């Protein structure tokens, strides 16, 4: 595993905006170990494909766009590790690495979107260049482009989402779809950063999001760091804060939107969507086009990752369930499109009928 290069355990809110979770430097990826937040800010230095695979699989890096960006750099590392001078062998190494990285997690479609984009680019480059150094430099440029594009994509999602929220509104979110899950700004959290910049006061309510606590450890952390008004809730409080009239909208991220608008997102999202509908509260999904998968017909076709039992039977190292108890630990659930008020993308906002409105986004 890469070396640790910094630790700042005294965390104070700053107005620096979202904390960046990824930094690429020529032949290594500096990656914020999100398992250790919020107590420790530790960046790992990753220089091998296997380290990238491990970081994705063990959720040191998580969030659909951040996973895709990391995997793209993993493919670059594979190309750089090739020591021969035969382009056909180089491309074989690229495809082998991409297929290996594709096994790290199954649900977030950004992983496969980024890997396919890198494989396609590598194939095109290998038809143009025979020099391995040139191939590697050109392929790295594609990964950097994926990284840079995501920052602009998230900002645009924020711009399209912001008009949905009025000053003084309470907005509930689930899991972490913030700067830590992306290149910067986040998807669902992007409007909160823009609102802060523009003096629009929103009250964010963040579900803690068991079992990995992305809401408590990551969303509450990054919004507090940015000076955004955030209140932490346990996952069983969404109903009461809605009943109290504290919530005027819900916005979440997503790991895969199916062609019919069904949305896979962190476990617990479906329950929040049902509660929102029952209280007449709009339920928005922030999604880059890279997370919309028109080749997946509906939510029933989205592979749902099941994660280790220990995430549920232990609470940060302390056993909280009897040994041998049966456990069900799906990392995601699917919200049927009927519960989705609108999907906010970098190209604009789409609403039902998603089967026809989603493909239009790819034509603009």
Q: Which residues bind ligand LNRAV4D5 (CB under 6 A)?
A: 62-65, 175, 177, 181-182, 187, 214, 252-255, 265-266, 331
- When the beta carbons of 175 and 238 are compared against ligand LNRAV4D5, the nearer one is 175
236 in a known ligand binding site: no
Identify whether 255 is a catalytic site residue.
Answer: yes
Q: How far is Cα 262 from Cα 327, in angstroms, rounded to an integer?
A: 26
Q: How far is Cα 56 from Cα 222, in angstroms, rounded to an integer?
A: 20
Contacts of 328 (CB under 8 A, 6+ apart): 306
Burial of 237 from C-beta contacts in 10 A (0-12 / 13-18 / 19+): middle
116 in a known ligand binding site: no
The nearest distance, CB 293 to ligand LNRAV4D5, in angstroms, is 14
The nearest distance, CB 253 to ligand LNRAV4D5, in angstroms, is 3
Q: Is 8 helix (H, G, I), strand (E, B) or coil?
A: coil
- When the beta carbons of 2 and 106 are compared against ligand LNRAV4D5, the nearer one is 106
- Residue-wise DSSP of 268-336: THHHHHHHHHHTT--EEEE--GGGEETTS-SGGGS---B--THHHHEETTEE-S-TT-----BSEEEE-
- When the beta carbons of 126 and 209 are compared against ligand LNRAV4D5, the nearer one is 209
261 in a known ligand binding site: no
The nearest distance, CB 202 to ligand LNRAV4D5, in angstroms, is 18
What backbone phi and psi angles, to 5 degrees, belong to 204? -95, 135
- When the beta carbons of 235 and 255 are compared against ligand LNRAV4D5, the nearer one is 255
Contact between 345 and 362 under an 8 Å Cβ cutoff? The reply is: no
- When the beta carbons of 93 and 207 are compared against ligand LNRAV4D5, the nearer one is 207
Contact between 119 and 112 under an 8 Å Cβ cutoff? The reply is: no
- When the beta carbons of 214 and 296 are compared against ligand LNRAV4D5, the nearer one is 214
Q: How far is Cα 314 from Cα 26, in angstroms, rounded to an integer?
A: 39
Residues comprising the chain, all counted = 364
Q: How far is Cα 219 from Cα 211, in angstroms, rounded to an integer?
A: 14
266 in a known ligand binding site: yes
CB atoms within 10 A of CB 359: 13
Q: Please name which of 95, 79, 81 lies closest in space to residue 129, comparing C-alpha atoms.
A: 79
105 in a known ligand binding site: yes
CA atoms within 13 A on the CB side of 309: 11
**Set 33, 207, 255, 333: catalytic member:** 255
The two tokens of residue 138 are 């050109």
Active centre residues (catalytic): 255
- Binding region: 62-64, 105, 214, 265-266
């Amino acid at each position: 595993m890469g070396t640790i290069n910094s630790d700042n355990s005294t965390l104070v809110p700053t107005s620096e905006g979202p904390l960046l979770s990824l930094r690429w430097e020529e032949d290594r990826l500096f990656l914020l170990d999100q398992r250790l937040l919020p107590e420790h800010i530790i960046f790992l230095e990753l220089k091998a494909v296997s380290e990238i695979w491990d970081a994705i699989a063990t959720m040191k890096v998580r969030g659909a766009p951040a996973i895709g960006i990391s995997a793209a750099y993993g493919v670059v590392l594979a190309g750089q590790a090739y020591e021969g001078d035969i382009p056909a062998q180089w491309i074989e190494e690229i495809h082998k690495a991409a297929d290996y990285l594709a096994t790290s997690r199954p649900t977030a479609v950004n992983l496969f979107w980024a890997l396919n984009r890198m494989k396609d680019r590598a194939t095109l480059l290998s038809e143009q260049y025979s020099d391995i150094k040139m191939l590697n430099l050109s392929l790295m440029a594609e990964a950097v482009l994926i990284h840079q594009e995501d920052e602009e994509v998230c900002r645009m999602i924020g711009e399209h989402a912001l008009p949905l929220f009025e000053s003084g509104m309470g907005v509930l979110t689930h899991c972490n779809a913030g700067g830590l899950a992306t290149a910067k700004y986040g998807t669902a959290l992007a409007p909160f950063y823009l609102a802060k910049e523009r003096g629009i006061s929103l009250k964010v309510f963040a579900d803690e999001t068991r079992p990995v606590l992305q809401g408590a450890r990551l969303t509450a952390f990054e919004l507090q760091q940015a000076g955004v008004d955030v209140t932490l809730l346990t996952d069983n409080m969404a109903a009461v804060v809605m009943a109290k009239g504290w919530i005027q909208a819900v916005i979440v991220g997503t790991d895969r939107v199916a062609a019919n608008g069904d949305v896979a997102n962190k476990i617990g999202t479906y329950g929040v969507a049902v509660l929102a509908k029952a209280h007449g509260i709009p339920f928005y999904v922030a999604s880059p086009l890279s997370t919309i998968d028109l080749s997946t017909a509906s939510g029933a076709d989205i592979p749902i990752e099941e994660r280790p039992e220990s995430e549920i039977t232990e609470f940060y190292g302390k056993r909280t369930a009897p040994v041998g108890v049966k456990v069900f630990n799906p990392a995601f659930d699917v919200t049927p499109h009927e519960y989705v008020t609108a999907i906010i993308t970098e190209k604009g906002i789409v609403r039902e009928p998603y089967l026809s409105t989603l493909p239009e986004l790819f034509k603009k």
